[in-house]
Chain A
Amino acid sequence: DIQMTQSPPTLSASVGDRVTITCRASQSVSRWLAWYQQKPGKAPKLLIYEASSLQSGVPSRFSGSGSGTEFTLTISSLQPDDFATYYCQQYNSYFYSFGQGTKVEIK
């Protein structure tokens, strides 16, 4: 199975900061990677698919990049609504797997 590792586990940042989260796969997943945002008590929300494609309705301050085994999610200017936990997910091969999450906290 493909293991997904996110870093950092927790990130403290201020409104307006540029934030980058990294996701590494234990083997190549090509560009078959998605990013989700989850707020407490809520379901995950799809932000990015195919490594860099922005889901409809998601603000353009979110962007994704990478291929193979290393990926990044960038928030260009952190907004109050962005404080949440972010997960990456590989869907290159069964069995789908998620990273352990990165919690973005208020600094």
Chain B
Amino acid sequence: QVQLQESGPGLVKPSGTLSLTCVVSGDSISGNNWWSWVRQPPGKGLEWIGEIYHSGSTIYKPSLKSRITISIDEFKNQFSLQLSSATAADTAVYYCARGHGTYRRYYFDYWGQGTLVTVSS
């Protein structure tokens, strides 16, 4: 059974960097899937923010491109998110998810349980 587990600080100061890690079990992160981050502000809908392939290739949402970095560690079977210059607008539950499908067309079949990150002083 594929499982994803997010971890990281739940509180980030404004202008700081939000950093999260997603550990994958039950599947190799080096396989033929892409690995995504999706966030959900409190009481609002879902927003895809970026994804990575085990080769290191990344695709980011344009509105976040200047602030976001997604990286991968094949040895630890995990991938990470960094979002710099955080503001209150980045307060959200952050989910990691497995992208599955065909080339450049992925839906999300496995999700982590989500972790709430609050940006506040």
Asked if A91 contacts B105 (CB within 8 A), the reply is yes
In-complex Cβ contact of B106 among A36, A91, A99 (8 A): A91
Chain B CB within 8 A of A89 CB: yes
A42 CB, nearest partner CB in chain B, Å: 8
Given contact pairs A43-B95, A94-B59, A99 touches B45 in the complex (Cβ within 8 A): yes
| Chain A residues with CB under 8 A of B114 | 42-43
Asked if A32 contacts B112 (CB within 8 A), the reply is no
Asked if B111 contacts A44 (CB within 8 A), the reply is yes
Chain B CB within 8 A of A55 CB: yes
Given contact pairs A49-B101, A87-B45, A100-B45, A95 touches B61 in the complex (Cβ within 8 A): yes
Chain B CB within 8 A of A19 CB: no
Query: Chain A's interface: helix, strand, loop or mixed, by majority?
Result: loop
Asked if A101 contacts B111 (CB within 8 A), the reply is no
* Number of interchain pairs (Cβ within 8 Å): 54
Query: Chain B's interface: helix, strand, loop or mixed, by majority?
Result: strand
Asked if B107 contacts A91 (CB within 8 A), the reply is yes
Chain B CB within 8 A of A83 CB: no
Cα A51 to Cα B117 in complex, Å, equals: 32
Cα A93 to Cα B59 in complex, Å, equals: 12
In-complex Cβ contact of B109 among A46, A99, A100 (8 A): A46
Cα A34 to Cα B100 in complex, Å, equals: 11
Asked if B45 contacts A49 (CB within 8 A), the reply is no
Chain A CB within 8 A of B88 CB: no
| Chain B residues with CB under 8 A of A55 | 109
Query: Which residues does B use to contact A, with CB under 8 Å?
Result: 36, 45-48, 59, 61-62, 95, 101, 104-109, 111-114
Query: Which residues does A use to contact B, with CB under 8 Å?
Result: 32, 34, 36, 42-46, 49, 55, 87, 89, 91-101
Beyond the given A49-B107, A94-B59, please list 8 additional residue pairs across the A-B interface where CB-CB is below 8 A.
A45-B111, A49-B101, A49-B109, A87-B45, A89-B107, A93-B104, A95-B48, A100-B45
